[in-house]
């Protein structure tokens, strides 16, 4: 039996601040989202001609509409990351090489913006790399200090942190929430290179490391 207020579909989503009768879209999938796997979100909704007239919508579509997404991370041990939100224009757009937002009209034709009346579909394919999540392995302070000593020793023997090995070490330090080693490697020029990212997105990732975003 469907619970009152539950969004239909293969999910555990519920209607929140906007009442069910005022919702435009009513299909969401999947949940929960698993890291390092491509997932798909599908929403379908309908705007009647009377609603279009009541809201004063233009024939050219919902060109000023925005999409707000919030999410959090819950780990198997019960720990979690506080929800974060992102607002972006609601339009057909390739977010990056591994993520695309597509809007279709009632004929299944891809369009730039949701129609101002009639049925519309919103489809999203996306992936959340596990490299941006913490490791479930909790290192002791002694283990972190031992790893720092090993990295310093390797550098003394001529290891180049700007090569691939430095990026891997930086990735592991971030994963294990070892911010002392993360900052040390970042200061030495280590960077994480992700082949799936576009050049502009890679620059954003490099800048985030330069700006010590993990400590904010």
pLDDT-wise least confident of 13-22, 113-122, 181-190: 13-22
Furthest-apart CA atoms within the chain: distance in Å? 74
Instruction: Flag whether pLDDT at 1 surpasses 50.
Output: no
Instruction: Flag whether pLDDT at 214 surpasses 80.
Output: no
Q: What is the pLDDT of residue 131?
A: 61
More confident call, 10 vs 60: 60
On whether the CB atoms of residues 116 and 47 are closer than 8 A, the answer is yes
On whether the CB atoms of residues 172 and 133 are closer than 8 A, the answer is no
Percentage of the chain modeled with pLDDT above 90: 1
Between 179-187 and 141-156, two packed helices, what is the crossing angle to 10 degrees? 20
Q: How confident is the model at residue 2 (pLDDT cuts 50, 70, 90)?
A: very low
Q: How confident is the model at residue 213 (pLDDT cuts 50, 70, 90)?
A: confident
Report for 12-21, 123-132, 177-186, 187-196: range of highest mean pLDDT: 177-186
As a whole number, mean pLDDT of residues 88-99 equals 80
Q: What is the pLDDT of residue 46?
A: 82
Q: What is the pLDDT of residue 12?
A: 57
Instruction: Flag whether pLDDT at 18 surpasses 60.
Output: no
Q: N- to C-terminal Cα distance for the chain?
A: 44
Q: How far apart are CA 196 and CA 132, in angstroms?
A: 14
pLDDT tens digits for 58-90?
A: 777 788 888 887 777 777 667 777 777 878 888
Q: How far apart are CA 42 and CA 40, in angstroms?
A: 7
pLDDT tens digits for 135-175?
A: 545 677 888 888 889 888 888 888 888 887 788 888 878 77
On whether the CB atoms of residues 65 and 25 are closer than 8 A, the answer is no
Q: What is the pLDDT of residue 3?
A: 42
CA distances from 105 to 124, 172, 176 (A): 15, 44, 45
Q: What is the pLDDT of residue 175?
A: 73
Average pLDDT, the chain: 76
Q: How confident is the model at residue 19 (pLDDT cuts 50, 70, 90)?
A: low
Instruction: Flag whether pLDDT at 191 surpasses 80.
Output: yes
């Amino acid at each position: 039996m469907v619970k009152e207020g539950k969004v239909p579909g293969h999910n555990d989503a519920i209607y929140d601040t906007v009442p069910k009768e005022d919702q435009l879209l009513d299909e969401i999938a999947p949940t929960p989202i698993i890291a390092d796997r491509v997932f798909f979100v599908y929403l379908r909704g309908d705007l009647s001609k009377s609603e279009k007239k009541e809201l004063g919508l233009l024939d050219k579509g919902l060109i000023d509409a925005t999409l707000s997404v919030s999410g959090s991370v819950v780990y198997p041990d019960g720990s979690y990351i506080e929800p974060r939100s992102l607002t972006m224009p609601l339009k057909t757009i390739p977010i990056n090489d591994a993520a695309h937002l597509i809007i279709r009209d009632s004929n299944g034709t891809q369009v730039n913006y949701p129609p101002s009346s009639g049925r519309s579909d919103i489809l999203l394919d996306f992936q959340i790399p596990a490299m941006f999540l913490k490791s479930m392995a909790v290192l002791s302070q002694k283990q972190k200090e031992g790893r720092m000593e090993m990295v310093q020793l390797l550098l003394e023997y001529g290891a180049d942190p700007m090569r691939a090995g430095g990026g891997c070490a930086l990735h592991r330090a971030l994963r294990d929430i070892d911010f002392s080693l993360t900052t040390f490697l970042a200061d030495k020029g280590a960077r994480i290179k992700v082949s799936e990212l576009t050049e502009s997105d890679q620059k954003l990732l490099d800048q985030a490391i330069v700006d010590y975003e993990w400590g904010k």
